[in-house]
Amino acid sequence: MRTSDYDYLLPPEHIAQRPASPRDASRLMVLRRDDSALEHLRFRDLPSLLRPGDALVLNQTRVIPARLHARKQPGGGRVELLLLRRVEPQVWEALVGGKAIRPGRRLAVEGGPQVEVLEDLGGARRRLRFSEPLSPKLERIGEMPLPPYIHAPLQAPEEYQTVFARHPGSAAAPTAGLHFTPDLLQRLEAGGIRLVRVTLHIGLDTFAPVSEELAEDHPIHTEWCQLDAAAAETLQSVCSGGGRIIAVGTTSVRTLETAARHAPTGQVVSPFQGPTDLYILPGHEFRAVDAVLTNFHLPRSTLLMLVSAFAGRERILAAYEQAKADGYRFYSFGDAMLIL
């Protein structure tokens, strides 16, 4: 499977720099897999596309202010840290921007603790030990880690959080969830839609373009996820009643399909908590997901490959070309697609 088969051209003016206001005013392209028909709506129209008894699966992870500024000790050279995953209260995996950041190097976070580089994990990834637990200080010393293609500053940190974000731990937002408003969630529940919450803490590898010639050669790093017993019971009830499971975002897809791999015969998913390294490429047999609500993804990304696995590469790329022609906005703050 060649990575170049998942490439497309996107002029910069199609990349959204600000979220829609209100959030549910964003556009919604509806792609039906049975006949490839496209429909063009607004996100606020979502309740009309779902049926009583369906389940929307929401990733309730919360983005942490994971970008830190530090200086080398001694020397004072500037270093940027992007926290990816907490291993222990004082040990984190991070991307480190700076020269000669080798094991043993000491850093000082501006306004925060001292840091020792423990291990080189390849590329810019390092394992770091902080001199004290970092989490209580992050809101004061950290910055929100916006993707590099967003150049406009946030007007408020909550712009890069979903309205249902609860559990801190992500280096990026589950962007398909950014379109929801409290009012829209209430309308969905009033229409008989079950809202099921799972958690997957997102690392930046999810969004990184695939550089290998063959997509199968791309290494997938693990992300921690959880689908608890109550969520599993609700989803089983939905399936037994003939309802559909609609995953909100690729992170919910990965969580659901990970839980499905551990499910016993006759169950759609099993409760699951732990790391997942599930890499969904075309040919994957979807066991739990009936529909996907997602954004428009970067070329050559694992996310584009995942939605292609669900709907077909040619169908997805054709829909993307139509989205460009119709002025849809792409990427994290962009418009949405519902694949039925």
Question: Does residue 147 lie in a domain region?
Answer: no
Q: Provide the pLDDT for residue 207.
A: 63
Q: Strands, DSSP E only, in the chain?
A: 27-31, 38-42, 55-59, 61-63, 67-73, 78-88, 91-97, 106-109, 114-122, 125-130, 167-170, 194-200, 223-227, 245-248, 272-276, 291-295, 336-339
172-185 average pLDDT score: 97
305-330 average pLDDT score: 98
Separation between Cα atoms, residue 209 and residue 225, nearest integer Å: 22
Distances (CA, A) of 96 to 47, 112, 121, 170, 267: 43, 16, 11, 17, 43
Domain that holds residue 222: 3-63+154-339
269-317: pLDDT as tens digits: 999 999 999 999 999 999 999 999 999 999 999 999 999 999 999 999 9
Co-location of 45 and 78 in the same domain: no
Question: Does residue 149 lie in a domain region?
Answer: no
104-137: pLDDT as tens digits: 999 999 999 999 999 999 888 999 999 999 888 8
Tokens of 32: 């039906």
Co-location of 245 and 108 in the same domain: no
Question: Does residue 146 lie in a domain region?
Answer: no
Co-location of 167 and 299 in the same domain: yes
Domain at 123, CATH number:
2.40.10.240
SS3 content of the chain, % helix, strand, coil (to 5): 30, 30, 40
Co-location of 88 and 12 in the same domain: no
Co-location of 46 and 22 in the same domain: yes
CB-based contacts of 118, cutoff 8 Å, min separation 6: 91, 103, 126, 127, 128, 129
CB-based contacts of 50, cutoff 8 Å, min separation 6: 56, 188, 191, 193, 244, 246
Burial 278-314 (b: 16+ CB within 10 A, else e): bbbebeeebebbbbbbbbbbbbbbbbbbbbbbbbbbe
198-247: pLDDT as tens digits: 999 998 766 677 989 999 999 888 899 999 999 999 999 999 999 999 99
Distances (CA, A) of 90 to 113, 145, 189, 302: 10, 20, 40, 31
Task: Tell me which of 112, 141, 170 is where a domain ends.
Answer: 141
Q: Which helix (H) or strand (E) holds 261?
A: helix 250-261
Co-location of 110 and 213 in the same domain: no
Separation between Cα atoms, residue 16 and residue 195, nearest integer Å: 28
Q: Strands, DSSP E only, in 156-285?
A: 167-170, 194-200, 223-227, 245-248, 272-276
Q: What is the three-class DSSP state of 199?
A: strand
Nearest Cα to Cα of residue 112 among 154, 171, 65: 65
Co-location of 113 and 161 in the same domain: no
Separation between Cα atoms, residue 9 and residue 324, nearest integer Å: 10
Question: Does residue 293 lie in a domain region?
Answer: yes
Instruction: Domain count for the chain, please give it.
Output: 2
CB-based contacts of 112, cutoff 8 Å, min separation 6: 68, 130, 134, 137, 141
Contact 297, 303 (CB under 8 A): yes
Question: Does residue 51 lie in a domain region?
Answer: yes
97-107 average pLDDT score: 94
Domain at 19, CATH number:
3.40.1780.10
φ/ψ of 78, rounded to 5, equals: -75, 140
253-274 average pLDDT score: 96
30-87: pLDDT as tens digits: 999 999 889 999 999 999 999 999 999 999 999 999 999 999 999 899 999 999 888 9
Task: Tell me which of 110, 141, 172 is where a domain ends.
Answer: 141
